[in-house]
Amino acid sequence: MERRIPSPVAGIDILALPLSTLEGFVLSRADGSSSVEDIAMMVGVELDKLILILERLADLGAVQLPWLDAQRKQRQAEQAAKEQQERDEEASRGCIYDNPSVPPSFDSKELDGASDIDRKTRRRILNAYYSLSGRNFYQAIGVSEMADKAEIRSAYFALSKQFHPDAFFGKDLGHFKSKMEAVFKRLTEAYEVLGRKARRSEYDEYLRATNQAYTTQTKIEQVQARAQALRQPKSAPAPKSNAPRADASNTSLRAPRVPREAKPVTSDPPTHTQRRVPSTEDKRRERAAGRLKRQLDSVVPPERGRVQAAVKRPSEPRDGTSARERRDSAIRGLARSLSDSAQLTGGPDRVSEYVTMARQAEAAGDMLSAVNALQLALALDAEDEELREYYGRLSKVVAEDLARNYEKQARYEEKVGKWSAAARSWRRVVEGRPEDAEAARHTAEALMRSGGDLHEAQRYAQSAADLQPDSVVSLVVLARVMLAAGLKLSARRELEKAVKLDPTDDMVKNLLKETR
C-alpha cells in the first residue's frame, strides 16, 4: 500500500496564510518524509480531521498532496453510497428500531411467550429496549443534532404510535408491556428535553463535555498503550557520531542554547583545567549506555580473574568452542538485538524529538498532545528528572481540564437524577483533583443516592471531611453515609463535631435524633 506523504511547497510565505494554530502545527510536521498516519500521531488528532486540515493547506498552496484528487473522489463516492443505503434502509424499515445498523444482543427466547402482538413488533420493542441506554436523546428519536423543533416533534409522535401501550388497546402484551412503557418513558424524556430551548441548550453542553472527556480519555489510553509497547524492548543508544548535530540546541528540556558562533564573549576562554558541564543530552546518552552495559552483563557476566579460573576451569564444549568464543558470540548477538531495538525506538535522539514535539504542542496551546509526546519520551528514558518534572507539570493541566469536563457531566446528571452516572463522573473529577473536598463530597452523595457501595461512599465522605474539617456540610454527608450503613455511634461523633461548629443547624439536630 502506497504511503500518503504530504510535501511542503517551497517558497511559500507561511506568515501570509490565514492559518489557525493547529493548522500551523500540522504544516510544521509536513516535512515530505512523515506519512499522514505519523503526523496524526504526532499532532494528536483523528486521521479524518487531519486529512481535512491537509486538504485546506493544499487549497492554500502550502502543501502538495498527490493522492488528494483520487481520495476526494473515492470519499465522495463512498459518502453518496452510504447516504443512499441509509435512505433505502429507512424506507424499508419504517421505524429506526426495526432494523438498527448494529442490533443489540438479547436472548432470542425473549421473543417467545404469550402475547397478541406479532413477531416483528416484538423484535422492534426488544431492539429499542436494549439499545436506548447507549443512545443520546437525538439518537433515541432518530434526528440529527441540527434538527429543528418541528422535526423533533414529528419524529417523536411517529415513534409514540409504535411504543405507546395504548396503541395496542385490548391486546395482551405479556412481558412486552413493561418494556414498551420503559421505551416510551425514555422517548418522552428525550422529547421534553429537546423540545424546550433552555433544556436543550443544557443538554447540548452536557453532550459536548461528555464527548470531549471521552475523546481526551481515549487519546490518553492509546498513548499509554504505545508507551507500554516502547518500554518492552530495552533500547540501546544509537551509534554516537563525532559530527555536530544540527538540532543539538533542542535536545534539552531547558531553553534552547545560543549557537556557539553567536554566543557573546563574557569571560576569558576556558583553560585546560576547566571542565564542560554535561548537558541533558549527555546525561541521557550516559544512562542509555549504562542500560546497555547492564543488559550485556545480565546475559554474559564479566570474565573472572585468572586465579578464580584456575581454581575451577569450566569444561570445554564438545563442539570445540572455548568459553571466550561463546561469550563473544553471545555479546555480538545481543548487540545486534539491541541495535535493532534502538532503530525501532530511536534511542536518545527519539527522546529529543518527542520533547521537541511537546514544546511545539505546548506553544500551540495543545497540552494533551504535549503530554502524550512526553509520555512517549518517558517510556524511552524514565530516569530523566527534568523530563519527569516537565511531564508532571503539563499532565496536571490536562488532568484539570479533563476534570472540568467530567464536572459538567456530573452536575447535569445530578440535576436530572441520574445518580449512578453522576457517581461515575464525580469519581473522575476526584482523580483529576484529589484535593477537591467538594468533588469528594459529591461522589459520596451520588453513591449513597444511587444505592452504591456505602463503604466506598464513606471513604469519599471521610476524605472530604479530612480536607475540610471545619465544614458542617462535609460532616453531615459523612454522618448520613454512616447512618445508611448502620453505624449510628460513628455518625453521632461526626454530628457532635458539626453541632460545635454550628449549634443552630436544624438538619444536624434532626440527624442527631436518628442516632439515639
**Statement: residue 109 has pLDDT above 50:** yes
Q: Kindly write down the DSSP assignment for every residue of 6-29, as one continuous string.
A: -EEPTT--GGGS---HHHHHHHHH
37-56 mean pLDDT:
84
By C-alpha distance, which of 442, 413, 447, 22 is closest to 209? 413
Residue 310, pLDDT score? 40
Grid cell 517558497 in the structure block, residue: 11
By C-alpha distance, which of 466, 467, 465, 470 is closest to 445? 465
Grid cell 557573546 in the structure block, residue: 264
403-425 mean pLDDT:
93
65-84 mean pLDDT:
74
Residue 288, pLDDT score? 60
By C-alpha distance, which of 113, 7, 106, 131 is closest to 62? 7
**Statement: residue 257 has pLDDT above 60:** no
d(CA 116, CA 149): 35
Q: How many CB atoms lie within 10 A of CB 347?
A: 25
Top pLDDT among 462 and 229 is at 462
Q: Which helix (H) or strand (E) holds 510?
A: helix 506-514
Q: Which three cell numbers stand for residue 229?
A: 509497547
**Statement: residue 275 has pLDDT above 80:** no
Range ranked top by mean pLDDT from 66-70, 147-151, 257-261: 147-151
Q: Could you give the domains of the chain?
A: 7-76 (1.10.10), 97-193 (1.10.287.110), 205-237+280-303+323-408 (no CATH), 417-514 (1.25.40.10)
- % of the chain residues with pLDDT over 90: 31
63-64 and 7-8 as β-strands: parallel, antiparallel, unpaired?
antiparallel
Worst-scoring range by mean pLDDT, 198-202, 234-238, 277-281, 426-430? 234-238
CB 284 within 8 A of CB 351: yes
225-249 mean pLDDT:
56
Residue 171, pLDDT score? 80
104-115 mean pLDDT:
73
Q: pLDDT-derived band of residue 265, with 50, 70 and 90 as boundaries?
A: very low
Residue 271, pLDDT score? 47
CB neighbours of 385 closer than 8 A, spacing ≥ 6? none
Model pTM score: 0.59
26-44 mean pLDDT:
82
CB 394 within 8 A of CB 374: yes
**Statement: residue 15 has pLDDT above 80:** no
Q: What is the mean pLDDT of the chain?
A: 78
**Statement: residue 153 has pLDDT above 70:** yes
CB 495 within 8 A of CB 475: yes
Residue 138, pLDDT score? 94
Range ranked top by mean pLDDT from 41-45, 99-103, 173-177, 477-481: 477-481
Partnered with residue 63 across adjacent β-strands are 8
Residue 343, pLDDT score? 46
Residue 327, pLDDT score? 59
123-136 mean pLDDT:
86
465-475 mean pLDDT:
94
CB 173 within 8 A of CB 115: yes
Q: Which three cell numbers stand for residue 131?
A: 439499545
224-251 mean pLDDT:
56
**Statement: residue 302 has pLDDT above 70:** no
pLDDT digits (tens, 9 = 90+) for 47-64: 888 888 888 888 888 888
385-414 mean pLDDT:
92
Residue 292, pLDDT score? 53
pLDDT digits (tens, 9 = 90+) for 477-491: 999 999 999 999 999
**Statement: residue 274 has pLDDT above 90:** no
Residue 23, pLDDT score? 82
**Statement: residue 312 has pLDDT above 70:** no
d(CA 75, CA 93): 27
Residue 58, pLDDT score? 84
